[in-house]
Structure 1
Amino acid sequence: MKLYNRRFSKFILAGALILITGGSCTKSFDRINENPNTPEKVPGNNTLAYSIAYYGEFLYDLWGDMNEPECFGGHLGKIQYIDESRNVYRGVVMENLWTYHYRVLNNLQITISDAVSNNKVNMQAAALTFKAYVAQIATDSWGNIPYSDALKGNSGVITPKYDDQKAIYASLLADLKTANDLFAKNSPDALGDGDFLFSGDLTKWRKFCNSVRLRVAIRLSKVDPVTAKSNIEEIAGDQEKYPIMTDNGDNAFLTWPGGKPYNEPWASNKSDDGRDDHAVSDTLVNILSRLKDPRLSVYAKPASDGQFRGVGIGIPDNDRLPSLALYSRIGARFRDNKQGFTPYMRVAEVKFILAEAAANGWNAGVSAQQAYEAGIDASLAENQITNAAYKTNSGVKWDGDVKKIYLQKWIALFKDGHEAWAETRRTDVPVLPAAKGSPYPGHTRVSFHLPYPNSETTLNKTNSGPTVGQVKDNFWGKQMYWDTRTGIN
C-alpha cells in the first residue's frame, strides 16, 4: 500500500516511545516521574506499524541487506568500499543488526500482549505472523540465538539462554498455525491505519501467514522432510482453511511514501546518501545472459559500453576493471524509485515452494511443472514482462530437474537478500564460492552466518559461549541446522 508521510511518522514515533520509556519510573517516585507527553503504553496499532516499517528501514537497507545478505546471496557485488563482501565486517554494524532484530521482536511481543489483554484477535494474529517472519530471518542470519527467553526483559531475564535452531523452527511453525486459527475466528477487530502491508485486508494477512509457514517448512525439507511434508501438505490440502498467496496482488511489499526520511532504502542510499558502491553480480548477469532471461534488463542497467557486465563478489583489487563505469548497476525498478518497495514475500516464491514439494512427491495440490511455470510467470509479471517463450528456452524448460526450481526461485528473489542467501545455503544453487579477496583463505563457500556481536560474548558469555565456540573465522564453522551440504567449509 502507499504510505503517507504524516501517518508514517506518527506510528514510527509512537512505537519508538516504547524503547525509551521502559524503566523510567521507580516504585517510590512513580508519580513524580510520570510524563503526560510520553505514554508508557502504546496501542498495538502503533507498535505493529512501527515494527513493519522499522524492519524495512533497517534490515532491508544498505547495512541490513545490500552489503552482506545480497552479496552473500549472489545478487549484488560491491565496486567501492568492498570490505563487507570480502568478509571484513564492522563490529558496530553487527551490534546494530542484532539490536534491530530484537527491537522489532520486542515491539511485536508487546503488540501481542496488548492484543490478548484487549481481545484484539486479528491484531494478535498479525503480530504473531510478523514475529515469526522476523524471527526466521534472525535465526537464519546467525543460527542458534536467544529466543524463548529473549523477550522477557521486563520479567528480569537480561541474559537469555540460546535456543537450538531446530527448536526455534518448531516454534515458528506452531506460531504460524496458531495465527491462522486466530484469523479464522473472523473477529470484528480491525488492524487500523497502522497496517502498512495490507491496509487492513485480513484475507491478505492470512495468506501471508500461511505462505510464511510454507517458507519455514520448505527450509526443513532436507533435514527434516517429515515435518516439512506434513506442514506443506496440510496447507496445500485445504486452502480454504489455509489460504496462501495466489497472485502478485497478494505480495507482501512495504511501499514507501517518498520524501526524506521515508524514501525507499535502496533508493535512499543512492539519492540521499550519494552512494554508488554496488553493481549487479557477475553470477546473476552470467546466469540471466545464459538463459536469455528478459529480467536482465530490469534487474541491471547496461554498462558504459552498452554491455551487461556484473562484478565479482569480493574480488581482489587487482582483478577489478579499470573503470567502474564498465560494471552494470542495479536496475531502476529496484534502485531509483524513492517510492519503491521492500519485498517481504512474493507469490513467485510460494509457487516455487509448491513446485519443489511436488517434485519431492508430496501432495502440493499442483504438479511440479504447473507450479514451476506459474512461479516463472508470476516473477515475469511482477517485473512487467510478457514472454511466454522464455519457459521453452534451453536451461529453463521443465524436465524434472529440481535444480531448475532452485535457480528460478533464486532469480525471482532479487532484492530479498535474506531469503536468497538462505536458499543458496540450503540448495547450493547457484554455487557461490567464498570471496577471493577474503582475509580468510581456504573456504569453499560464501559465509555460513553473520558474526555474533561482541556484546553477546561479553554480557551474555555463559549462554553464548557454546554457540560462539563453534564459529570459525567469524563467518564459518557450524552450518545452519537446515544446511545439509557436505564437504564444504
Structure 2
Amino acid sequence: MKNLLYICCSVLLLLFSCDTWDEDINIDKNVPNLRDENLSPSFFMGGMFNGAISINGDWDRSDNTFINAILPVTAYYGKTKSLSQGNRHRSWHDFDGHVWPHCYASIRNIKNVRNIALNRGDNRYVAVADIWESWMFYMLTTFYGDIPYSLVIADDVPLTGIDYDKQRDIYAAILTKLKAANDLLAEETENIDEASDWVYYGDITKWRKFSNTLRLRMALHMYNANPGEAKSIANEILNDPASYPVFESNEDNFQVNFDGASRTSLYYRYNPERIKQIALSQVFVERMASLKDPRLYRFATPVKKVHEESGYVVPQNPGEDKYLGHLYGITTSDGDAASWNGGWEYSSLLGPAFRPMDENLEALPAAATTPIKLATYSEMLFNLAEMAQRGIIGGDPAAYYEDAIRASFTEYGVLNGFAGRSEYDRAYADQGINSAEEYLEQPQVAFNGTRDKLLLINEQRWIAIFQLHFEPYFHYRRTMLPGILASDNASSFASTGSGKFFPSRASYPTSEAAENLKAYEKARAEGYDIAITGQDNRNLARMWLINNGSSPSLEMETFEEPMLAEDEYPGGANFQDWYSNTWTKSFWWENE
C-alpha cells in the first residue's frame, strides 16, 4: 500500500512541480497539465472506471475473484476445473493482484477528476467522482472489513503509516458523501460529457438515482448492525422521491458499458478453454428449470451431449434443448473434476445473455458490448421487498417482490418469452407456462402461498442477480438464504481456512503485510469479533456488518461427496445412485 501511495504521490508531485525546472526539459507534451484551465475533468474518467474493474486488464487474471470464488461459492458455477476452491474457500486468500490493487490504483484518477472539477467550479464532475469513489469503497469495505479510507482519499496523502478505518466509520462517511453528491447534482441542469461517461452517457439525473439506490442497498446491508440508522436512511429516501430519486426502470441500471471497438466487454475476452471451466451449477440450473423459468435459456446454453447409457446424470427438462448443470463445491483435483458426469460437453455453459458464442465456443460480435452490471432495478426492488417484509420501510412486500421479478424478466428480454417463443418451447415443450403472471402464481413462487416470505425474496433475488458483480456474495453472507450446502470433505481443508462455514471475508493481500505491517496487524487483531491469527481462522472472522446477534450463523449444512473408488467415480453405475440419493439433498425446495 505504501509503495502504491508513494508512486501516486510522486507522480502528482512531479506534475505540480514542473515550473521550477528548465522549460525545455520539464515539459512532456504527453502528460496533461492538471492546472491547465482548458483541461476537462472528463479526461480522467476513463481511468477512473478502468481501474476499479480492470477493463483493460488481463481478464484471465482480473476475473479470478469473480469466477473462482464469488460465483462458485454462491452455487452459480459448477466444478470442471479449480472451482472447488470457491466452495472450500481456499481461493479467498488468492486475491493479490486483483481487487485491492486495482481499486486503490484508480484513486489517482478519481482525485484528478474531482480536483480539476473543483478548480473549475464544476460540481457535476465533483459529484460523479464522489459517487464512483463511494461505490468502490463500499465494495472494498464490504468485502474486506476495515480498510484504508480517510487518509487515502485525502488531498495530502501520507507516504507512511496508512491507518485502516473502521468499517462502521467508512459506511457512515460513504453514506454522507452519497447524499451530498445527490444534493450537488440536484442543483445542476446540464449533463456531463457523454463520450467519457461509460456508465450513464452523461446523464446526471441517473447518477443521482444511483447515489440514492446505493444508499438503500447499504442501509439494508447495515441494518442488523445499526437498525436505527439504516431505517432512518431508507425512509428518508423513500419518503421524499423528489429530493432523493431512485431507480425507476432497467434504463437506470448502474453498469459499465462497452462500445465493442476501443473497449470490448470482459465477457468477449473469455477464451473457449475458460468457458469450458465455468459450467453452470446443477443447483442453479435445476432451480430455474423446476420453476419453468424463461431466464434459463438466457443464462445457460443447452448441453452439447446427453448420455444414453445408464449410470450418468441426464437432463430432466422436457424440451428438445436439454439443460444440465455441473457439481459445485467438490474437492477433487482439476483432472478429476473435468471427468464428472462425462465432462463439460454434458453441462450447460454461460448463456447468450452474457456471451453469445458459436458452436466452437468462440464469442460472437454481440458479446463485445455486454455490460458489466453493478446495480440493477430488479435488485433494488428485491431489497425493498425485504425491507418491507422486515418492517424497515412501509409498503407492500408482495408488490415489490412481484415487480422485481417482472423487472428481471424485462432486463433479460423474457417478459413475454414464455410458451409460443421458440427458445422457451425448446426448453419446456408442452409443460411450460404462458406468462409472467402465471409464473408468479406457481406455489413455489406465489408470495401469498405457504413458503417463507424471506426465503422467497432471497431465492428469487439469488436468481435475478446472477453475474451482478460481488452482490450475490454480499447478500448471501448477510442472509444465508436459500439453503446452499457445502461439501462434507471441505472440513479436511480447515488448516487453510476452509471448512463448512461460508467465508466471512476476503483476506487482506500479502502486499499489505509487506508494506503496511503495523496497520495490517492491528486490523487483524482488532477489526473483527476474533483476532485473526492464521489461515485456520482468517475466513471465520466476522466484520462489523455481520458481527451481531441478528446476523445468521455462517455454518452450512453439508452434502456427502462421492467416493473416488473404482466403478464409483466419475461415471460408473453408482454415480447415478449417489446423485439421486445424495446430491438432490442440495435442492432445498424439494426438502422444505
State the TM bucket, normalised to the shorter chain: 0.7 to 0.9
The match for 1:449 is 505
1:213 Cα deviation after fit: 0.9
Match of 1:315 in 2: 330
Q: Map of 1:149-228 to 2, 5 A cutoff?
A: 149-152=151-154, 154-186=156-188, 188=190, 190-228=192-230
Contact 1:122 1:191 in 2 (8 A): no
Q: Does residue 402 of structure 2 align to residue 373 of structure 1?
A: yes
- TM-score normalised by length of structure 1: 0.88
Establish whether residue 238 from structure 1 lines up as the match of residue 305 from structure 2: no
Q: Given the superposition, is the C-alpha separation of residues 285 and 168 from structure 1 closer, same or farther in structure 2, using an over 3 Å criterion? A: same
CA displacement at 1:20 relative to structure 2 = 9.0
Q: Look up the equivalent residue of 2:384 and give its one-letter code.
A: L
Check whether the contact 2:259–2:369 (CA below 8 A) recurs between aligned residues.
Answer: yes
Match of 2:443 in 1: 394
Question: Aligned residue for 1:324?
Answer: 344
Q: What's the CA shift for 1:283?
A: 2.8
Is 1:347 matched up with 2:377?
Answer: yes
Q: Which residue of 2 aligns with 1:385?
A: 414
The residue matched to 2:297 in structure 1 has which SS?
Answer: helix
| Structure 1 residue 220, shift from structure 2 partner | 1.1
The within-5 A match list for 1:18-417 is 21-24=11-14, 29=21, 31=23, 32-41=25-34, 43-58=40-55, 62-82=63-83, 84-85=85-86, 86-89=88-91, 93-152=95-154, 154-186=156-188, 188=190, 190-259=192-261, 262-270=263-271, 275-303=275-303, 304-305=305-306, 306-317=321-332, 318=336, 320-336=340-356, 337-364=367-394, 366-386=395-415, 387-399=436-448, 401-417=453-469
Query: Where does residue 544 of structure 2 map in the other structure?
Result: 481
Paired letter, 1:373: E
Larger radius of gyration: 2
Q: Which residue of 2 aligns with 1:425?
A: 477
What amino acid is aligned across from residue 390 of structure 1 in structure 2?
Answer: Y
Q: 1:270 to 1:162 in 2, by over 3 A?
A: same
Give the stretch that moved more between structures: 76-85 or 242-251: 76-85
Residues 92-136 of structure 1, C-alpha deviation per residue, up to 9 Å, x if partnerless?
Answer: 742332110112233223322222222111111111111111111
SS at match of 2:373: strand
8 Å CA contact 1:120–1:189 kept in 2: the answer is no
The unaligned stretches of length 5 or more in structure 2 are 1-6, 307-320, 357-366, 416-435, 526-530, 557-592
- Once the two structures are overlaid, the 10-residue window that deviates more, 237-246 or 190-199, is 190-199
Q: Aligned-pair distance for 1:363?
A: 3.4
Q: 1:30 to 1:91 in 2, by over 3 A?
A: farther
Displacement of 1:463 in angstroms is: 0.5
Q: Measure how far apart 1:44 and its partner are.
A: 1.8
SS of the aligned residue for 1:253 comes to strand
Q: Distance in 1 between matches of 2:516 and 2:32?
A: 31
Deviations 1:321-359 (A, max 9, x none): 232211210111112312211112110011112111211
Residue 393 to residue 83, structure 1, CA distance change in 2 (3 Å):
closer
Question: Which residue of structure 1 aligns with residue 528 of structure 2?
Answer: none
- Please report how far the alpha carbon of residue 161 of structure 1 lies from its aligned counterpart in structure 2 after TM superposition: 0.7
Aligned to 2:97, what secondary structure does the other structure show?
helix
Per the TM alignment, residue 230 of structure 1 is displaced from its structure 2 partner at its CA by 0.7
Residues 77 and 281 in structure 1, CA contact (< 8 A), matched pair in contact too: yes
One-letter amino acid matched to 2:45: L
What corresponds to 1:13 in structure 2? none
Q: Which moved more, 1:122-131 or 1:29-38?
A: 29-38
1:400-435 C-alpha deviation (Å, 9 max, x unpaired): 712211221121111114001000000101234445
The 2-side partners of 1:423 and 1:21 are apart by: 39
**Distance across 2 between alignment mates of 1:69 and 1:411:** 14
